[in-house]
C-alpha cells in the first residue's frame, strides 16, 4: 500500500482513479488493489471469468484471518466511460484535489468505497480489532455493464471453495446528503419484457385484406399500464411498470404494418418473483381481444430478484455504529435500481453503505475528501463492533 498515515484512504483512492478501468479494461486497477491488500496480510486470488455471451472479466478475492465472525466487503473497480474529456475541468483519470474535493472518474462510484474499506482494515489491524474475525473482499471489474462474469460468478466460486459469510457490506453510494444518513437494506427486482403483436400487412385502402396489429398493441399497453401491480409493502414502494418503447418500423402512411412491438420494464418489490410477474403479465395480455393477431410475450435478458436483508444482526449493528458516530439512525432504504448486492443476498445478509453520490456517472465526478475519511472511520468502527472487540 502506498506510504500514508494508517487508515488514510486518499492515497489508495488516487491510485485507483488513475487507472482508466472502463468496463472491462483493468488498466492496472486490480494490480494496485492487490498490492495494497497483500501488504495488509491478505491472501489474494485473481480470477478471470468469461463466456455466457459476455467479455472476459478480471476479479479479485482476498481473505485475512480465520475464525470468529466473517465479514465480507464487496464492490467494483470498473467505471463508466468519461464521455467527452472537454466536459471535464480536469482530466477524468488524473486524480485532482480542488477545494476539499477529489475529482476523477470513479471517485464516487465506487473506488472511494473500496479505498475507504482497505484503509479501515489497516486501522483495524493497527488497533488489533481486525484479528478477532475473518475479513474478505470480493471485487469485480464488471458491475457497470453486463455484470455476467463478475460478482455473481465470483461469489459462486467462493461458495464452492467453502467460504462462508455472516454479513456483507457493498460500498456503493448509498447516502442521500451526508455520510451515514441512509443505508440500503434491499433492492427492488427488475424484469425487462417484450410483447410482439403480429397481424397481416396490407394497403390502407383495403383494410379488409389486412389485419392491423396496432389497436391490439394500444389495448395491451393500456391493460399493462392502467392496472396497479400492487400497493407496496412495509419496506418497498409499489411495483411499477414503465412502457419504454412501442416500435412499428413503418415508414409510410399507406401501409398497414404487419407487426408492433412493446418493450417495458418492471421494478418490483418483495411480493413478486420473475415467475409470478410473468403470470401477471400473461393475465393482462389475455384480457385483451387479439382480433386474430398473434401475441407473443418474452422476457428480455436475465431478471433480477428483489431482496430484503434481515433487520437484526449486522443491519442493527451497523445502524448503532452510525448513530453513535453521527447522532442519527440511518434511514433503511430500498430505493434505486439494481446492484451487485443482489448476488450477495443469496449467501448472507447484505447492506449497501457508501458515500453520497450526486456526481456519479457525470463529468467532473468528485467526492468530498472528508466524506471518504469519515466513511473509512465508520467502516473501521463497524469492524471493531462486529468482531466484538470494541464499543460502537
| pLDDT mean over 88-114 | 97
Tell me the three cell numbers of residue 74: 464487496
Write the Ramachandran bin of 356: left for phi over 0, alpha for psi from -120 to 50, otherwise beta.
beta
CA–CA gap between residue 320 and residue 382 (Å, rounded) = 9
pLDDT one-digit tens code per residue, 257-311? 999 999 999 999 999 999 999 999 999 999 999 999 999 999 998 898 999 999 9
In the three-class reduction of DSSP (H, G, I as helix; E, B as strand; rest coil), residue 285 is classed as helix
44/24 Cα distance (integer angstroms): 20
Q: How far is CA 306 from CA 132, 143, 159, 271, 340, in A?
A: 33, 17, 21, 9, 12
Burial 182-208 (b: 16+ CB within 10 A, else e): bbbbbbbbbbbbebbbbbebbeeeeee
In contact, 150 and 158? CB cutoff 8 Å? no
Can you give the pLDDT at residue 336? Answer: 82
- Reply yes or no on whether the pLDDT at 391 is more than 90: no
Higher pLDDT, 220 or 338: 220
Confidence band, pLDDT 50/70/90 cuts, at residue 3:
very low
Q: Where are the alpha helices (DSSP H) in 81-236?
A: 112-126, 151-160, 214-226
All 3 cell numbers of residue 133? 474475525
Cβ atoms within 10 Å of 85's Cβ, excluding its own: 11
How far is residue 166 from each of residues 38, 172, 390, measured CA to CA in Å?
A: 23, 19, 18
Interatomic CA distance for residues 314 and 350, integer angstroms? 8
- Listed range (151-155, 223-227, 386-390) with the worst mean pLDDT: 386-390
State how beta strands 134-140 and 54-64 pair. Answer: antiparallel
- Whether 78 is catalytic: yes
**Arithmetic mean of pLDDT over the chain:** 95
The share of the chain scoring above pLDDT 70, in percent, equals 97
Name the nearest CA neighbour of 168 among 138, 140, 141: 138
The pLDDT of residue 388 = 87
Q: Which helix (H) or strand (E) holds 138?
A: strand 134-140
Instruction: In whole angstroms, give the CA distance from residue 21 to residue 166.
Output: 30
Q: 224 pLDDT exceeds 80?
A: yes
Q: What nine digits make up the cell of 53?
A: 455471451
Per-residue confidence (pLDDT) for residue 227, from 0 to 100: 86
pTM for the whole structure? 0.88
User: What was the pLDDT predicted at 338?
Assistant: 82
Coil/strand/helix, residue 64? strand
Q: Is the pLDDT of residue 319 over 80?
A: yes
Cβ-Cβ contacts under 8 Å for 259 (sequence gap 6 or more):
196, 197, 198, 199, 213, 248, 249
- The fraction of the chain above a pLDDT of 90, given in percent, is 93
- pLDDT number for residue 34: 98
CA atoms of 49 and 56, how far apart (whole Å): 6
Q: What is the pLDDT of residue 335?
A: 87
| Identified catalytic residue from 8, 122, 143, 371 | 143
Which stretch of DSSP H or E encloses residue 150? none
Class of domain 190-304: alpha beta
pLDDT exceeds cutoff 50 at 63: yes
State yes or no: is 31 an active-site residue: no
Question: Minimum mean pLDDT among 4-8, 247-251, 354-358: which range?
Answer: 4-8
pLDDT for 303 equals: 92
Catalytic residue among 8, 78, 352, 371: 78
User: Per CATH, the architecture of 10-187+306-386 is what?
Assistant: 3-Layer(aba) Sandwich (3.40)
Domain residue limits, the chain: 10-187+306-386, 190-304
Q: Residue 340 is inside which H or E element, if any?
A: none
Q: How confident is the model at residue 55, as a pLDDT?
A: 97
State residue 263 phi and psi, 5-degree precision.
-120, 145
pLDDT tens, position by position, 172-189: 999 999 999 999 999 999
Total residues belonging to the chain: 392
Amino acid at each position: 500500500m502506498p506510504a500514508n498515515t494508517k487508515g488514510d484512504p486518499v492515497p489508495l483512492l488516487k491510485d485507483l482513479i488513475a487507472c482508466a478501468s472502463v468496463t472491462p479494461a483493468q488498466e492496472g486497477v486490480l494490480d494496485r488493489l492487490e498490492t495494497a491488500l497483500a501488504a495488509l496480510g491478505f491472501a489474494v486470488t485473481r480470477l478471470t471469468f468469461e463466456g455466457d455471451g459476455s467479455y472476459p472479466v478480471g476479479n479479485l478475492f482476498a481473505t485475512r484471518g480465520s475464525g470468529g465472525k466473517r465479514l465480507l466487503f464487496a464492490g467494483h473497480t470498473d467505471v463508466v466511460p468519461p464521455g467527452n474529456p472537454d466536459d471535464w475541468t480536469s482530466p477524468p483519470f488524473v486524480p485532482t484535489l480542488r477545494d476539499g474535493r477529489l475529482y476523477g472518474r470513479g471517485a464516487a462510484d465506487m473506488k472511494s468505497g473500496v479505498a475507504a474499506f482497505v484503509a479501515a482494515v489497516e486501522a483495524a489491524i493497527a488497533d488489533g480489532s481486525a484479528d478477532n474475525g475473518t475479513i474478505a473482499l470480493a471485487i469485480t471489474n464488471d458491475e457497470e455493464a453486463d455484470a455476467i462474469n463478475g460478482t455473481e460468478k465470483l461469489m459462486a466460486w467462493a461458495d464452492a471453495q467453502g467460504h462462508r459469510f455472516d454479513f456483507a457490506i457493498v460500498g456503493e453510494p448509498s447516502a442521500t446528503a451526508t455520510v451515514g444518513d441512509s443505508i440500503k437494506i434491499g433492492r427492488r427486482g427488475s424484469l425487462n419484457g417484450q410483447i410482439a403483436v403480429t397481424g397481416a400487412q396490407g394497403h390502407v385502402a383495403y383494410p379488409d385484406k389486412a389485419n392491423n396489429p396496432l389497436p391490439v398493441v394500444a389495448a395491451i399497453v393500456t391493460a399493462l399500464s392502467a392496472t396497479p401491480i400492487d400497493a407496496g409493502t412495509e419496506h418497498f414502494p409499489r411495483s411499477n411498470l414503465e412502457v419504454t418503447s412501442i416500435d412499428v418500423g413503418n415508414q409510410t402512411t399507406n401501409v398497414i404494418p404487419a407487426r408492433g412491438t412493446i418493450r417495458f420494464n418492471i421494478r418490483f418489490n418483495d411480493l413478486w418473483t420473475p415467475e409470478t410477474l410473468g403470470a401477471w403479465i400473461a393475465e393482462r395480455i389475455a384480457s385483451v381481444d387479439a382480433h386474430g393477431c398473434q401475441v407473443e410475450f418474452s422476457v428480455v435478458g436475465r431478471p433480477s430478484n428483489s431482496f430484503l436483508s434481515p433487520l437484526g444482526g449486522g443491519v442493527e449493528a451497523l445502524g448503532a455504529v452510525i448513530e453513535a458516530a453521527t447522532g442519527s439512525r440511518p434511514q433503511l432504504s430500498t430505493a434505486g435500481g439494481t446492484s451487485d448486492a443482489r448476488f450477495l443476498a443469496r449467501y448472507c445478509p447484505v447492506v449497501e453503505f457508501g458515500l453520497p453520490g450526486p456526481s456519479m456517472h457525470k463529468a467532473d465526478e468528485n467526492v468530498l475528501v472528508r466524506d471518504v475519511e469519515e466513511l473509512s472511520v465508520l467502516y473501521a468502527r463497524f469492524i471493531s463492533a462486529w468482531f466484538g472487540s470494541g464499543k460502537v
